[in-house]
Amino acid sequence: MPPQDPARRLSSRAVKIGMVSALSLTLVACSSKSTTAWCVDRDSRGGFTNTKGGYRVVPDSYCNRSDINNGTVGYGRYFWYYGGKRTGSGYVSGGSVVGPRSGKIKSGSGTTLSRGGFGSHGRSGS
């Protein structure tokens, strides 16, 4: 049996470590992470009258669920605001008007708006 080159052994270990890293990243990416979508009032943000910061949360029925399914941003008075933190005063801030590319989306009231999942980009119907 010919002697093994130490560099060759290192490369095979590197490949194994790389494969394990890729597998763990894939598992994390495909996990059932959930994002909260808040139905908010666009007009609540403007000017000096908003001392709370962020947008005022309104009932889910004010927003269009098809905006989530289509991956679009609502341009009316009410729209979905993703992530962020809701304050006790009924305002949310620190999120985004752009929805996540994958994962489950739930409304602030707990209703599942999009199931997400493997390869869905978070835009599937419910």
Q: Is residue 6 pLDDT above 80, yes or no?
A: no
CA dist 27 and 24 (Å) reads 5
pLDDT at residue 27, rounded to an integer: 40
Full-prediction pTM beyond 0.75? no
**What tens digit of pLDDT does each residue of 26-42 get?**
344 444 589 999 999 99
**Residue 73 is encoded by which pair of tokens?**
């941003």
110 or 24: which carries more pLDDT confidence?
110
**What tens digit of pLDDT does each residue of 66-88 get?**
888 777 788 889 999 999 999 88
The partner residues of 55 in beta bridges, in order of sequence, read: 92
| 124 within 8 A of 114, measured Cβ to Cβ | yes
Using DSSP's 3-state secondary structure scheme, residue 124 falls into coil
pLDDT at residue 7, rounded to an integer: 56
| 92 within 8 A of 57, measured Cβ to Cβ | yes
